Structure 1
Amino acid sequence: MILPRNPFKAGLAHGEPLYGIWAGFAHPYATEITASFGYDWMLIDGEHAPNTVPSILAQLQAVAPYHTAPVVRAVGHDQLLIKQLLDIGVQTLMIPMVESAEQARALVQAMRYPPHGFRGVGGGLTRATRWDAVPDYILDAQRELCLIVQVESRAGIDNAAAIAAVEGVDAVFIGPADLSTGLGHVGNPSHREVQQCIRQAIDATLAAGKACGILAPAEDDARRYQAWGCQFIAVGIDISLMRQAALNNLARYRDLTAAPSTSRTY
């Protein structure tokens, strides 16, 4: 058996735009439905969605037959958790709140086996090796692994050039919500200062020869960031899309009828 290919990493290498969707329901059935929509990639969120290692594994298995490439966001920088996520077959890993080149280098080491890092060897116990069916997995694994570091604070923006320059960092992803909040512009990522910081991070990432991504559910934002150089953009969030569609559906009827009665007859 050959080492499984990472379609997300291949897409980055081709330089084509990659449009993604956030998967926040933390359930394999919902994630499989989302994978069937045809987005280039999907973010299985282990930071803010109620996911665990087993629930992420179930979602990876559910979406495996589909075109949409899974990206998994860890809850933090925990090196032991990173080991577990890689062992269950995560190939593209996003780590939130990276603020320095030192942090980025530590994350690279957590994804690599000795002598280049300190990832533990699971061998035949792990899905990543297809239970020892992939020859030379330890030697070849890094070829198909992809590390995305998330820049979403003032410190991250200030250090974006150094972070992006770290060997082993494949891409930088910008988080406008945390960034705007941290800069004191709560709920307003369109603020001029926030936009200047986003542009600064994009320019620094591209100057380092790395791919840049961002979360931008609003179309005008997505198109602006793409024009600035972002290659992979999350243009939708499954929960938000469902909520808005449901509200719009209900409004079609509530707007045409009297206020609902407090009593019902069945």
Structure 2
Amino acid sequence: MQLRKNRFKEAIQSGQLQLGLWSMTRDPALTEMLAGCGYDWINLDCEHTPNHIDRVLSMLQAIEPYDTEAIVRATHLDPAEIKQLLDAGARNIVIPYVQTVEEAQLAAASVEYPPKGIRGVAGSTRASRFGAVTDYVKTARDNICLIVQIETADAMSRIEEIAAVDGIDAMFIGPADLAASLGHPGDVKHPEVQAAIVEAIQRITAAGKPAGFLSGDQEMLDKVVAAGGLMMGIDIDMILLRRAALERLETCRKWLD
């Protein structure tokens, strides 16, 4: 048995725009429904949700039958957690809050088997189809996409150095933390923040790496795509649900007038 090609990684490496959705709801049935909506990717967030490996596994299984690719954002740069996510079948991994070359190198080592990396070897995980992919250890890294998040002013100052680290496949801008780092907490629409985001996307692209971004602000999304963004998270499922619920209620409140 051979591994299924990572369509998401192939697409961004060839310069194809990929439209995705950030997921914070932790419900496998909802994840499965969203996977059938036609998004190129869905990110399962562990950093800002109480997601654990067993729930992530269920959501990965829910996405598996569909054309949508799963991405998983780890809680932080932790080789042990990254190993568990990879063994569970995640193959697109986002590492938040990477600020230095050394942290980028550790992230790259965490998704690579020895002698080049430090990922622990297991023979019968879901990632290898429980051992059915007999050459998994030799071929796994080709199908793994490692994405590091640039979320601070310090990280912004090192974009080119981080991009040059062997094993970094793509880079993603985290707007909320970047806004806070720039002195504008909670104000991602501040002109300084928006200018920094556009600049970061341009610099990442110029450094030869696919650049990503998440926002529900259509105007900002348009600016990022124009700047070269390829991994576009166009909304968050929890916010989508709340927005739709509020809009539906407001529409029907006319009966109370």
Shorter-chain TM-score: what band?
Answer: over 0.9
Correspondence 1:12-31 to 2 at 5 A: 12-31=12-31
Report the Cα distance in structure 1 between the residues aligned to 2:215 and 2:237, rounded to whole angstroms.
Answer: 13
Residue 35 of structure 1 is matched in structure 2 by 35
Report how far residue 256 of structure 1 moved: 4.5
* SS of match in other structure, 1:196: helix
What residue is the counterpart of 2:226 in the other structure? 227
2:2 partner letter: I
**Which of 189-198 and 17-26 deviates more?**
189-198
Q: TM-score scaled by structure 1?
A: 0.94
The separation in 1 between residues aligned to 2:219 and 2:67, in whole angstroms, is: 26
Is the CA contact 1:92–1:148 (under 8 Å) kept in the aligned structure 2?
Answer: yes
Counterpart of 1:180?
A: 179
Separation of aligned partners in 1, 2:255 and 2:151: 44
Counting only pairs closer than 5 Å after superposition, residues 172-251 of structure 1 correspond to structure 2 as 172-251=171-250
* Residue 116 (structure 1) aligns with: 116
How much has 1:186 moved relative to structure 2? Answer: 2.0
Preserved CA contact (<8 Å) 1:63 1:70: yes
* Distance in 1 separating the partners of 2:65 and 2:91: 15
1 CA distance for matches of 2:191 and 2:243?
27
Quote how far apart the aligned CAs of 1:187 are. 2.1
Structure number, greater radius of gyration = 1
Q: Does the Cα contact within 8 Å between 2:194 and 2:220 map onto a contact in 1?
A: no
CA–CA distance in structure 2, aligned partners of residues 46 and 114 of structure 1: 26
Q: CA deviation at 1:160?
A: 1.1
Mapped partners of 1:102, 1:66: distance in 2: 36
Mean alpha-carbon deviation: is it higher for 191-200 or for 63-72? Answer: 191-200
Q: Which amino acid aligns with 2:49?
A: A
CA contact (8 A) 2:198 2:223 kept: no
- Aligned amino acid, residue 202 of structure 2: D
Runs of 4+ with deviation above 6 angstroms: none
Higher alpha-carbon deviation: 201-210 or 243-252: 201-210
Give the corresponding residue for 1:263: none
How far, CA to CA, are the matches of 2:191 and 2:11 in structure 1? Answer: 32
Q: CA deviation at 1:255?
A: 4.2
Q: CA deviation at 1:246?
A: 0.6
Residue 77 in structure 1 maps to residue 80 in structure 2:
no
2:61 is aligned with what amino acid?
Answer: Q
Q: What is the correspondence of 1:24-63 to structure 2 with a 5 Å cutoff?
A: 24-63=24-63
Q: Could you say what the CA RMSD is over the residues aligned between the two structures, in angstroms? A: 1.1
Output the amino acid matched with 1:223: D
* Structure 2 match to 1:163: 162
How far is 1:131 from its partner?
1.1
Whole-angstrom CA distance in 2 between matches of 1:71 and 1:165: 22
Paired with 1:68 and 1:138, the residues of 2 have a C-alpha distance of: 24
Contact 1:23 1:34 in 2 (8 A): no
Cα deviation 1:156-205 (Å, max 9, x = unaligned): 11111111111110100001111112222122212222123212321221
The SS at the match of 1:172 is strand
User: Structure 2: which 5+ residue stretches go unaligned?
Assistant: none
Distance 2:255 2:164 in 1: 57
- Per the normalisation by structure 2, the TM-score is 0.97
The amino acid across from 2:110 in the alignment is: A
1:99-142 per-position Cα deviation (integer Å, ceiling 9, x unaligned): 01110011000111111011101112x10111111021111111
Separation (CA, whole Å) in 1 of partners of 2:33 and 2:20: 14
Equivalent in the alignment of 2:92: 92
Q: Is the 8 A contact 1:164 1:204 kept in 2?
A: no
CA distance in 2, matches of 1:58, 1:79: 21
Provide the rounded CA distance (Å) in 2 between the counterparts of 1:63 and 1:121.
25
